[in-house]
Amino acid sequence: MSNESLANLLKEERRFAPPAALAAQANVTAEAYERARADRLGFWAAQARRLTWHTEPTETLDWSNPPFAKWFADGKLNVAYNCVDRHVENGLGDRVALHFEGEPGDTRSITYAELQREVSKAANALTELGVQAGDRVAIYLPMIPEAVVSMLACARIGAPHSLVFGGFSADALATRIQDADARVVITADGGYRRGKPSALKPAVDEALTRPGTENVRSVLVVRRTGQEDVAWTEGRDVWWHDLVERQSDRHTPEAFDAEHPLFILYTSGTTGKPKGILHTTGGYLTQVSYTHHAVFDLKPESDVFWCTADVGWVTGHSYIVYGPLSNGATEVLYEGTPDTPHRGRWWEIVQKYGVTILYTAPTAIRAAMKWGDDIPAKFDLSSLRVLGSVGEPINPEAWVWYREHIGAGTTPVVDTWWQTETGGIMISPLPGVTETKPGSAQVPLPGIAATVVDDDANEVPDGAGGYLVLTEPWPSMLRTIWNDDQRFLDTYWSRFEGRYFAGDGAKKDEDGDIWLLGRVDDVMLVSGHNISTTEVESALVSHPKVAEAAVVGATDPQTTQAICAFVILRGEAELGEEESAALVEELRAHVGKQLGPIAKPKRVLPVAELPKTRSGKIMRRLLRDVAENRTLGDVTTLTDSSVMELIQAKLPAAPGED
Ligand code: WT7
Task: Look up the pTM and report it.
Answer: 0.94
Is ligand 1 within 6 A of the CB of residue 502? yes
Is ligand 1 within 6 A of the CB of residue 27? no
CB 602 within 8 A of CB 552: no
Is ligand 1 within 6 A of the CB of residue 314? yes
How far, in Å, from the CA of 617 to the mean position of ligand 1? Answer: 9
| Residues whose CB is less than 8 angstroms from the CB of residue 84 and which lie 6 or more positions away in sequence, other chains included | 97, 112, 115, 116, 119, 152, 325
Q: Is 536 a residue whose pLDDT tops 50?
A: yes
Is ligand 1 within 6 A of the CB of residue 337? no
Give residue 401's pLDDT: 97
Nearest to 48 by CA among 533, 542, 476, 611: 476
Q: Is 471 a residue whose pLDDT tops 60?
A: yes
Is ligand 1 within 6 A of the CB of residue 556? no
Ligand 1, closest atom to CA 502?
26
Could you tell me the pLDDT band of residue 658, with boundaries at 50, 70 and 90? very low
Instruction: Out of 128-132, 493-497, 630-634, pick the least confident.
Output: 630-634
Highest CATH level, class, for 527-650: alpha beta
Is ligand 1 within 6 A of the CB of residue 537? no
Helix H or strand E encompassing 80:
helix 79-80
From residue 191, alpha-carbon distances to 145, 353, 496, 617 in Å are 12, 22, 44, 23
Nearest to 468 by CA among 430, 431, 507: 507
Each domain of the chain, given as residue ranges in start order, spans 527-650
Residue type, 364: A
Helices marked H in 462-517: 485-488
pLDDT tens-digit series, residues 175-210: 999 999 999 999 999 999 999 999 999 999 999 999
d(CA 371, CA 368) in angstroms, rounded, equals 5
pLDDT tens-digit series, residues 26-56: 999 999 999 999 999 999 999 999 999 999 9
How far, in Å, from the CA of 418 to the mean position of ligand 1? Answer: 5
Is ligand 1 within 6 A of the CB of residue 390? yes
Give the three-state DSSP class for 516. strand
What's the mean per-residue pLDDT of the chain? Answer: 94
Give residue 657's pLDDT: 29
Q: Is 504 a residue whose pLDDT tops 90?
A: yes
From residue 513, alpha-carbon distances to 402, 451, 500 in Å are 21, 10, 19
DSSP secondary structure letters along 594-639: HH-GGG--SEEEE-S---BBTTS-B-HHHHHHHHTTPPP---TTBS
Ligand 1, closest atom to CA 318?
4
Could you tell me the pLDDT band of residue 635, with boundaries at 50, 70 and 90? confident
Q: Is 235 a residue whose pLDDT tops 70?
A: yes
How far, in Å, from the CA of 419 to the mean position of ligand 1? Answer: 5
Give residue 656's pLDDT: 32
DSSP secondary structure letters along 265-315: EEE--SSSSPEEEEEESHHHHHHHHHHHHHHS---TTT-EEEE-S-TTSHH
Residue 601: φ, ψ to 5°: -65, 140
Nearest to 143 by CA among 349, 416, 301, 327: 349
pLDDT tens-digit series, residues 266-308: 997 555 689 999 999 999 999 999 999 999 999 999 999 999 9
Average of per-residue pLDDT across 110-125: 98
**Closest Cα to atom 23, ligand 1: which residue?**
419
Ligand 1, closest atom to CA 428?
17
Average of per-residue pLDDT across 382-401: 97
**Closest Cα to atom 24, ligand 1: which residue?**
391
